[in-house]
Amino acid sequence: MAEDLGFFSRDSFGLKSSKKNPLLLRMILLMLAMVCGIYICSICLKQIGVTPSMSRVFSVQVTKSSCPEPTVEPWEIPYLHYPNPETYSRDECACNPVRNFAILSMQRSGSGWFETLLNNHTNISSNGEIFSVKVRRSNASTIVETLDKIYNLDWLSSASKNECTAAVGLKWMLNQGVLQNHEEIVDYFKTHGVSAIFLFRRNLLRRIISVLANLYDRDARPLNGTHKSHVHSPHEAAILAKYKPSINSTLLIADLKRSEDMTEKALAYFNGTRHIILYYEDVVKNRTKLVEVQNFLRVPPMELKSRQVKIHQGKLSDQIENWQEVQQKLKGTHYESFLHDDYRK
């Protein structure tokens, strides 16, 4: 730097009169210091590659680096995230890590009820069946774009909590692009630290009853002309439970096998991700399963409640119109146990 300024002479700044005018000399020296400072700063900024377009990224990095190290096991670090939402500021919660998750399930497997339980937790936000909208799952790129928005806390829904959310996710049905785009989704889960919560039904026959009853309700609309997949009162549940579907026994075995295959494929595809496997019947009978889920998400355990009321209760023989035909079809197969497995909520 001294060499760069060496070509300036005393005459250039009129220093011959410096003794007579010390104020002028001080001003000249101050200007020189400012020029040197600006030059040095510009060189440093070029070296670290900061440009105006990167200013936002740089500020985020500074914020993250100023956060204290979390007291977690080393293997957990890839699952800790510090989102920087574009729609609001996390303020004092900027250093609170967030864990990403996805509930992977099939329609009428208890996932709606299960999600309301999770959303009952102060620090969990599960944003519903987002990929039920086909355009969001039209290809791998739109899926990734949607997931980025969810996990950056920019997806606004009734489940959105305050800026101190500790776990954020969604409910995702296997037939909504999960199996078709499993390679890209598994890669996303691994690179973005997304944990999978698998929720299935053990008794697939009960699932078929629920699917058929829901289809009937969508067309008949017995509840004051409205379609409700889930209800919040025993009265509404009793009205919907009056319908007893007739099951196509010719296709029954194939339908049960198809559901089994989807489950097996999903578990095989996502085997390399961090995941937990739950069954609806187990959660109904044993609420300690909810504690396991909360521990899995690393949130403080709470007593979780849901306002949803179960629609189909009691014996299967009271819920199927052609019970004898179905019973005969499943006897002697490995699905026969579905005829006898009962539980109460």
Which contacts (CB < 8 Å, 24+ apart) does range 216-222 have?
Answer: 216/243, 216/245, 217/243
Residue-averaged pLDDT of the chain: 86
Confidence of residue 182 (pLDDT cuts 50, 70, 90): very high
Architecture of domain 98-339: 3-Layer(aba) Sandwich (3.40)
Answer yes or no: is pLDDT of 280 > 80: yes
Domain ranges of the chain: 10-49, 98-339
> Maximum Cα–Cα distance for the chain, whole Å?
117
Looking only at the bridges linking them, the beta strands covering 194-200 and 167-173 are unpaired
The per-residue pLDDT for 18 is: 44
Least confident range of 28-32, 36-40, 133-137 = 36-40
The per-residue pLDDT for 56 is: 36
Distance of alpha carbon 338 from alpha carbon 210, whole angstroms: 14
Q: What are phi and psi of 90, to 5 degrees?
A: -75, -10
The per-residue pLDDT for 257 is: 97
Instruction: Provide the 3-class DSSP secondary structure of residue 180.
Output: coil
Whether the model clears a pTM of 0.85, i.e. scores above it, the answer is: no
- 36 or 230: which leads in pLDDT: 230
Tens digit of each residue's pLDDT (9 = 90 or more) over 96-109: 999 999 999 999 99
CB atoms within 10 A of CB 217: 20
The DSSP secondary structure of 53-109, one letter per residue, reads GGHHHHHHHHHHHTSPPP-S-GGGGGG-B----SSS--GGGTTS-BEEEEEEE-TTS
> What residue type is assigned to position 90 of the chain?
R
The per-residue pLDDT for 31 is: 78
Answer yes or no: is pLDDT of 2 > 60: no
Distance of alpha carbon 213 from alpha carbon 229, whole angstroms: 9
